[in-house]
């Protein structure tokens, strides 16, 4: 069975600081991997996805993620966080079906 973990429930960073949100998955093959963001009162927005090819994926809003097969990880990064990045972030895996992680809430300090 496939699963997704996001070890950090809540992360707080200062504006301008770098960010890394962790995501680990369990699946027998290479799944499709996604990062979504949900801002308060909004629906899900896709930040980026990985299907195959280059393991470093660029997304919208300055986000990137790196697929590491050996670690079964797909961590999301951003070099400089903006206050508008405060939201909840979900890692998702699509193998046999779609599985979302529990989410990481990001707070940004001014």
Partner 1 sequence: GAVVSQHPSWVICKSGTSVKIECRSLDFQATTMFWYRQFPKQSLMLMATSNEGSKATYEQGVEKDKFLINHASLTLSTLTVTSAHPEDSSFYICSARWGNEKLFFGSGTQLSVL
Judged by the rule CB under 8 A, the positions of this chain that interact with partner 1 are 32, 34, 36, 38, 40, 43-44, 46, 49, 51, 88, 90, 94, 97-100, 102-103, 105
Give the number of other CB atoms < 10 A from CB of residue 43. Answer: 7
Instruction: Give me the least distance between CB of 1 and partner 1, in Å please.
Output: 10
Identity of the residue, 70 or 97, whose beta carbon is nearer to partner 1 in the bound complex: 97
d(CA 105, CA 85): 10
Q: Work out how close the CB of 86 gets to partner 1 at its nearest, in angstroms, rounded to a whole number.
A: 12
Cβ contacts of 61-67, under 8 Å, gap ≥ 24: 61/85, 63/35, 65/33, 65/35, 67/33
Nearest-approach distance from CB 66 to partner 1, in angstroms? 19
Nearer to partner 1, 83 or 98 (CB): 98
Q: Cβ(66)–Cβ(74) under 8 Å?
A: yes
């Amino acid at each position: 069975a496939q699963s997704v973990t996001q070890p950090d429930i809540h992360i707080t960073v200062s504006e301008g600081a770098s960010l890394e949100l962790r995501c680990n998955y369990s699946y027998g093959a290479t799944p499709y991997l996604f990062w979504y963001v949900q801002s308060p009162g909004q629906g899900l927005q896709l930040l980026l996805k990985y299907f195959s090819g280059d393991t470093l994926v660029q997304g919208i809003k300055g986000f990137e993620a790196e697929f590491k097969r050996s670690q079964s990880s797909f961590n999301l990064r951003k070099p400089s966080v903006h206050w508008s990045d405060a939201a909840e972030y979900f890692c998702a895996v699509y193998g046999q079906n779609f599985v979302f992680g529990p989410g990481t809430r990001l707070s940004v300090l001014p």
